[in-house]
């Protein structure tokens, strides 16, 4: 997977360099008439468009790899990555390990049980509804 | 040695007391909010699905999506949002999954006032809590469906409890540990009352990324209606209208964006490009001069276009 990523990034950089070459060779070539998208305007002063595109593709490849590692079904991975906005894909790529994962009420160690029982009674936590 | 131990114990007790009192701040509910809310609200029509194992993410999504009239189920949502390796679901995917069902997922302002106002307006709110302590977190999603102001309790569909009532202070303590994270769901073309312009902008933009500008157009229109002085909303509307082929409307929206915020280089640039496409080189030059004078990432492109005219 790591090597795939390395290949992919080399390929992307090469592709982007090649596509931008004609512009460098002939500076009088007409500019693209594409409008600035809402998404890039919202992203504010992030780095140049090319670098952004590379980052997005890599981030999505990264997220896909991580989701597979976390046991997500192969058939679902692509749709799940596609549903993320660029900003969310970046966030997942950068910090999936640290993101809190909502799971709900689950069993805890005994020492922790006592502490949480006290904090529950104090009204600071909500682990054991029977405290009320 | 004995004394040192005693001192250490004393310090420990003191520290614990300090920590606890620091956590136990009473929730801030503005007097104005208290005065404007009805005493009791409960969205009892929100369906309930008890979570199994670690599936509170899929269960909460099924509740709010079904409440919106979307056809889905917990079983269908599990492979879409649950992360087996983490025994849970993460926030970006919660929002993304809502969008897969062609609904907007809009984060709310993280205050009790905002939460209660959304409930009164009839919108159930998905909230993330840490039910335990920061050191041993127990992350949890639930759906807030109502409140009882005189009793200061919040009503939630939570875990295996269909109607979980919880004091404002206890709820706020558990909610604060997630940075008071929560979101409401709405049909494209409608906006829940009370969401901020910025949160709506980002939610609609994310929706547009996946479903395209045509599908987002009605949402941009309602956003502009709701926040007529928001330049970014006008700009976004311009782009969606342009994608729809409505050149005049798009130009008008970009123009309006530059009027509302003359320092918005992207709006000047898009206006100029549209003028160029329509062969209005004088108007295009005017807009490009404005865009090229503004420092930022659009300056270079504006200058290049200006040189070409």
Q: Where are the domains of chain B?
A: 31-186, 216-308
Is A56 among the domain residues? yes
Question: Among A25-29, B182-186, B214-218, B286-290, which stretch is predicted with the lowest mean pLDDT?
Answer: A25-29
- Which of B85, B298, B66 shows the shortest CA–CA distance to A35? B298
Pair (A67, A94) in one structural domain = yes
Residue span of the structural domain in which A74 resides: 45-100
* pTM summary value: 0.82
What's phi and psi for A100, nearest 5 deg? -65, 140
Question: Among A30-39, A81-90, B50-59, B287-296, which stretch is predicted with the lowest mean pLDDT?
Answer: A30-39
Residue of A nearest to B97 (CA): A83
DSSP B83: B
d(CA B36, CA B99): 32
Is A15 among the domain residues? no
Residues of A in contact with B235 (CB under 8 A): 38, 41
For residue B47, the model assigns a pLDDT of 97
Query: Which residues between 164 and 193 in chain B have a beta carbon less than 8 angstroms from any beta carbon of chain A?
Result: 164, 166-167, 169-171, 173-174, 178
CB atoms within 10 A of CB A1: 12
Architecture of domain B216-308: Alpha Horseshoe (1.25)
* A/B interface, count of CB pairs below 8 Å: 191
Number of domains in chain A: 2
Residues of A in contact with B201 (CB under 8 A): 42
Pair (A81, A123) in one structural domain = no
Pair (A86, A120) in one structural domain = no
Sheet strands (E) in B15-102:
40-42, 89-90
Mean per-residue pLDDT for B277-282? 92
Cα torsion angle, B201, A85, B125, B22, sign: negative
B51 close contact with A: CB closer than 8 A: yes
Pair (A67, A84) in one structural domain = yes
- What three-state secondary structure class fits B258? helix
Q: Do B90 and A96 touch (CB under 8 A)?
A: yes
B143 close contact with A: CB closer than 8 A: no
Whether the complex's predicted ipTM is more than 0.85 is answered with: no
Q: pLDDT confidence of B112, banded at 50, 70, 90?
A: very high
Residue of B nearest to A98 (CA): B90
CA A47: distance to chain centroid?
Answer: 17
Tell me, yes or no, if the two domains B31-186 and B216-308 fold the same way: no
Greater model confidence, B308 or B166:
B166
In CATH, which of 3.90.1150.10, 3.90.70.10, 3.40.640.10, 3.40.50.300 is domain B31-186?
3.90.70.10
Pair (A92, A74) in one structural domain = yes
Is A37 among the domain residues? no
CB-based contacts of B197: which residues, under 8 Å, 6+ apart? B223, B226, B227, B230, B232, B233
């Amino acid at each position: 997977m790591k090597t795939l990523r390395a290949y992919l990034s080399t390929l992307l950089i090469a592709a982007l360099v090649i596509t931008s070459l004609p512009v460098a060779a002939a500076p009088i070539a007409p500019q693209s008439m594409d409008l600035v998208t809402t998404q890039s305007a919202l992203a504010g002063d992030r780095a140049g468009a090319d670098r952004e595109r590379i980052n997005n593709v890599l981030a999505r490849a990264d997220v896909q790899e991580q989701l597979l590692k976390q046991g997500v079904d192969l058939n679902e991975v692509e749709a799940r990555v596609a549903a993320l906005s660029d900003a969310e894909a970046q966030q997942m790529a950068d910090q999936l390990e640290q993101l809190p994962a909502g799971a709900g009420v689950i069993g805890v160690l005994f020492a922790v049980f006592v502490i949480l029982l006290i904090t529950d009674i104090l009204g600071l936590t909500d682990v054991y509804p029977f405290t009320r | 040695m004995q004394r040192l131990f005693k001192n250490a114990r004393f310090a420990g007790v003191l520290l614990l007391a300090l920590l606890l009192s620091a956590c136990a701040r009473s929730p801030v509910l503005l007097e104005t909010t208290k005065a404007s809310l009805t005493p009791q609200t409960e969205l009892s029509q929100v369906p309930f699905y008890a979570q199994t194992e670690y599936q509170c993410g899929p269960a909460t999504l099924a509740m709010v999506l079904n409440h919106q009239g979307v056809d889905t189920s917990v079983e269908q949502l599990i492979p879409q949002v649950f992360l087996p390796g983490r025994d849970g679901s993460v926030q970006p995917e919660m929002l993304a999954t809502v969008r897969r069902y062609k609904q907007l997922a809009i984060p709310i302002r993280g205050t009790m006032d905002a939460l209660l106002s959304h409930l009164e307006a009839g919108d159930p709110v998905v909230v993330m809590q840490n039910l335990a302590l920061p050191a041993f977190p127990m992350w949890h999603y639930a759906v807030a469906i109502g409140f009882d102001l005189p009793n200061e309790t919040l009503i939630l569909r939570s875990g295996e409890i269909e109607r979980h009532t919880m004091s404002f202070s206890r709820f706020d303590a558990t909610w604060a540990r997630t940075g008071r994270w929560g979101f409401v769901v709405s049909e494209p073309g409608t906006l829940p009352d009370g969401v901020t312009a910025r949160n709506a902008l980002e939610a609609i933009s994310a929706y547009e990324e996946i479903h395209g500008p045509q599908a987002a157009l009605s949402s941009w229109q309602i956003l502009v209606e709701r926040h007529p002085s928001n330049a970014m909303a006008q700009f976004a509307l311009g782009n969606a209208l342009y994608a729809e082929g409505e050149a005049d409307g798009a130009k008008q929206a970009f123009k309006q964006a530059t009027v509302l915020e003359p320092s918005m280089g992207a709006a000047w640039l898009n206006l100029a490009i549209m003028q160029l496409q329509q062969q209005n080189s004088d108007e295009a030059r005017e807009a490009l001069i404005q865009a090229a004078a503004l420092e930022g990432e659009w300056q270079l492109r504006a200058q290049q276009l200006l040189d070409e005219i």
